[in-house]
Chains A and B, each alone.
Chain A
Amino acid sequence: MNRKALNNFWDKLFKLLGITSISFGLLVLLALIIDVIIDGYPRITLNFFKSFPSRKPEMAGILSAWVGTIWIMVITALISIPIGIGAGIYLEEYAPKNKFTNFIEINIANLAGVPSVIYGLLGLGFFVRYMNLDRSVLAGGLTLALLVLPVIILSTREALRAIPSSIREASYALGATKWQTIRNQLLPAAIGNILTGIILAMSRAMGETAPLITVGALTYIAFLPQNPVIIKDSFPFMGISFQGLFDPFTVLPIQIYNWVSRPQKGFITDAAAGIMVLLILTLIMNSIAIFLRYQNQKRVRW
Chain B
Amino acid sequence: MKKLLIETIAFLSVLTFYISPSMAQTKLIKIDGSSTVFPITEAVAEEFQKENTSIKVMVGISGTGGGFKRFTRGETDISDASRPIKGSEQQASRENGIDYIELPVAYDGLAVMVNPNNTWANYLTVAELKKIWEPESQSKITKWSQIRDGFPDIEISLFGPGTDSGTFDYFTEAICGKSGASRGDYTASEDDNILVEGIASDTPALGYFGLAYYEQNKDKLKLVPIDDQNELNGSGPISPSMKTVMDSTYQPLARPIFIYVSAQSAGKEEVRKFVEFYLTNAAKLVEEVGYIPLPAEAYQAALERFRKGIKGSVFASKDKTVGLSMAELLRMEK
Binding site for B on A (CB under 8 A): 52-55, 134-135, 216, 218-223, 226, 230, 236, 238-243, 248, 258, 260-265
With a cutoff of 8 Å between Cβ atoms, the chain B residues found around residue A52 in the complex are 46
Bound-state Cα–Cα, A32 to B282, Å: 40
* Given known contacts A222-B49, A236-B14, A263-B215, A55 and B58 CB-to-CB distance under 8 angstroms: no
Does the CB pair B39–A55 fall under 8 Å?
Answer: yes
Inter-chain CA distance A12–B61, complex, in Å, is 55
A269 to chain B, nearest CB (A): 13
**A219-B58, A220-B58 known; A263 vs B14 contact (CB < 8 Å):** no
A261 and B192 contacting across the interface, CB-CB below 8 Å: yes
The answer to whether B14 touches A222, judged by C-beta atoms less than 8 angstroms apart, is no
0/1 interface trace, chain B 87-118, chain A, CB 8 Å (1 if under): 00000000000000000000000000000000
Contact, CB under 8 Å: A218 / B49:
no
Instruction: Please give, as numbers and ranges, the residues of chain B lying within 8 Å of A263 by CB-CB distance.
Output: 192-193, 210, 212-213, 215-217, 290
Neighbour of A241 across the interface among B19, B45, B212, CB < 8 A: B19
Q: Which of B1-18 contact A (CB under 8 A)?
A: 14-16, 18
The answer, yes or no, to whether B288 is at the interface (CB within 8 Å) is yes
Does any Cβ of A come within 8 Å of B86's Cβ? no
A–B complex contacts, Cβ < 8 Å, 22 sampled: A52-B46, A55-B285, A216-B62, A218-B61, A220-B42, A220-B58, A220-B59, A230-B20, A230-B23, A236-B14, A238-B15, A238-B18, A239-B18, A240-B15, A240-B16, A240-B20, A243-B23, A248-B28, A248-B58, A261-B35, A261-B192, A263-B213
Contacts of B32 in A (CB 8 A): 219
Instruction: Closest A residue to B57 by CB, please name it.
Output: A222
B2 to chain A, nearest CB (A): 15
B139 within 8 A of A: no
Query: Which chain B residues lie closer than 8 Å to A216 at the CB level?
Result: 60, 62
Q: Is the CB of B42 within 8 A of A55?
A: yes
B230 at the binding interface (Cβ < 8 Å): no
A219 B60 Cβ-Cβ under 8 A? yes
Min CB–CB distance A93 → chain B (angstroms):
23
Do the beta carbons of B288 and A55 come within 8 Å of each other? yes
Q: How far is the CB of B51 from chain A (nearest CB, A)?
A: 13
Cα distance, A216 to B31, chains bound together (Å): 12
Q: Closest CB-CB distance, A31 to chain B, in whole Å?
A: 18
Question: Shortest Cβ distance from B73 into chain A, in angstroms?
Answer: 10
Chain B, Cβ-Cβ closest to A236: B18
* Shortest CB distance B288–A (Å): 7
Q: Does B141 lie at the interface of the complex (its beta carbon under 8 Å from any beta carbon of A)?
A: no
Given A53-B42, A216-B62, A219-B59, list of 12 further CB < 8 A pairs?
Answer: A54-B46, A55-B42, A55-B43, A216-B60, A219-B61, A223-B56, A230-B23, A236-B14, A240-B15, A260-B193, A261-B190, A265-B216
For the complex of A and B, 10 pairs with smallest distance between CB atoms: A263-B216, A220-B59, A55-B43, A219-B60, A263-B213, A239-B18, A223-B56, A220-B42, A261-B191, A239-B20
Bound-state CA distance A218–B210 (Å) is: 21
B327 within 8 A of A: no
The answer to whether the Cβ of B315 comes within 8 Å of any Cβ in the partner chain is no
| List of A residues within 8 angstroms of B61 by Cβ | 218-219, 258
Bound Cα distance from A135 to B76, whole angstroms: 11
Q: How far is the CA of A52 from the CA of B53 in the complex (A)?
A: 13
Instruction: Report the separation of the CA atoms of residues A241 and B22 in the bound assembly, to the nearest whole angstrom.
Output: 7
Q: In whole angstroms, what is the CA distance A25 to B282 when docked?
A: 49
Give the nearest-CB partner of B217 in chain A: A263
A55→B43 CA distance, assembly (Å): 6
Contact in complex: B289, A55 (CB < 8 Å): yes
- On chain B, the residues within 8 Å of A134 by CB distance are 75
Report the Cα distance A261→B285, complex, angstroms: 20
- Given contacts A216-B60, A241-B19, A248-B58, whether A222 and B46 have CB atoms under 8 Å apart is yes
Contact pattern, B 191-218, Cβ under 8 Å of A = 1, otherwise 0: 1110000000000000000101101110
Residues of A with C-beta under 8 A to B45? 220, 222
Cβ of A125 to closest chain B Cβ, rounded Å: 14
B170 within 8 A of partner (CB): no
| Residues of the B chain whose Cβ atoms lie less than 8 Å from the Cβ of A240 | 15-16, 18-20
A79 to B23 alpha-carbon distance, docked (Å): 24
B299 to chain A, nearest CB (A): 19
Whether, in the assembled complex, B133 has its beta carbon less than 8 Å from a beta carbon of chain A, the answer is no
Q: Point out the residues of chain A lying under 8 angstroms from B289, CB to CB.
A: 55
B306 within 8 Å of A by Cβ?
no
Q: With both chains docked as a complex, state the minimum distance between the C-beta of A57 and any C-beta of chain B, in angstroms.
A: 11
Q: Which of B253-297 contact A (CB under 8 A)?
A: 285, 288-290
B64 to chain A, nearest CB (A): 15
Across the interface, name the chain B residue whose C-beta is closest to A219.
B60
Q: B16 CB to closest chain A CB, in angstroms?
A: 7
CA distance A262 to B42 in the complex (A): 12
In the complex, the answer to whether B22 meets A243 with C-beta atoms within 8 Å is yes
Return the contact of A220 from the options B26, B38, B217, B288 (Cβ within 8 A). Answer: B38
User: Once bound together, how far apart are the Cα atoms of A135 and B285, in whole Å?
Assistant: 28
Given the known inter-chain contacts A55-B42, A240-B15, please indicate yes or no for A223 contacting B216, CB distance below 8 A: no
* Cα–Cα distance between A30 and B46 once the two chains are bound (Å): 37
Closest to B28 in A: A248
Cα–Cα distance between A53 and B59 once the two chains are bound (Å) = 12
Q: A262 to chain B: closest CB distance in Å? A: 8
For B193, the chain A residues whose CB sits under 8 A away are 260-263
Minimum Cβ distance to chain A for residue B265 (Å): 15
A129 to B: closest C-beta gap in Å: 10
Contacts of B215 in A (CB 8 A): 263
Which A residues lie within 8 Å of B217 (CB)? Answer: 263
**Distance in angstroms between the alpha carbons of A165 and B26 in the assembled complex:** 57
Among A223, A230, A238, A258, chain B packs the most CB atoms within 10 A around the CB of A223
Q: Which of A218, A241, A260 contacts B191 (CB 8 A)?
A: A260
